[in-house]
């Protein structure tokens, strides 16, 4: 279920970022800061990366749904899902 929500969030980001052609940078913090030289921790979402995220989360959610249905009658379902 969480995988499906992740896909919906990724698809929303694809609509807002991927179709406009813009990039979004989310800075998490500084890593190296020495004079004019600066390296930051963060995320960069461009149209290519957000489209790959949509494909990966979409396929993962379909596999997750299939495995829930496949293992519905198995007595060891919690062990399989963990």
Q: How many CB atoms lie within 10 A of CB 10?
A: 22
User: Each residue of 11-24: pLDDT tens digit?
Assistant: 888 888 878 888 88
Q: Could you tell me if residue 21 is inside a domain?
A: yes
When divided into structural domains, the chain yields a total of 1
Tokens coding 62: 């379909």
Q: Could you tell me if residue 51 is inside a domain?
A: yes
Q: Could you tell me if residue 67 is inside a domain?
A: yes
User: Which range of residues forms the domain containing residue 38?
Assistant: 2-72
Residue 41: strand pairing partners: 29
User: Each residue of 24-73: pLDDT tens digit?
Assistant: 888 999 999 898 999 999 998 889 999 999 999 999 999 988 988 888 88
Q: Could you tell me if residue 78 is inside a domain?
A: no
Residue 11, Cβ density class (10 Å: 0-12 exposed, 13-18 middle, ≥19 buried): middle
Q: Please compute the mean of the pLDDT values over residues 71-81 and round it to a whole number.
A: 81
Q: Could you tell me if residue 29 is inside a domain?
A: yes
Count how many Cα atoms sit within 13 Å of the Cα of residue 66 in the half-sphere of its side chain: 6
Q: Could you tell me if residue 81 is inside a domain?
A: no
């Amino acid at each position: 279920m969480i995988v499906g929500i992740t896909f919906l969030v990724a698809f929303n980001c694809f609509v807002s970022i991927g179709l406009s052609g813009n990039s979004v940078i989310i800075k998490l913090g500084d890593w190296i800061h020495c004079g004019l030289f600066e390296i930051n921790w963060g995320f960069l979402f461009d149209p290519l990366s957000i489209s790959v995220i949509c494909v990966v989360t979409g396929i993962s959610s379909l596999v997750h749904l299939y495995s829930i249905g496949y293992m519905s009658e198995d007595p060891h379902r919690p062990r399989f899902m963990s």
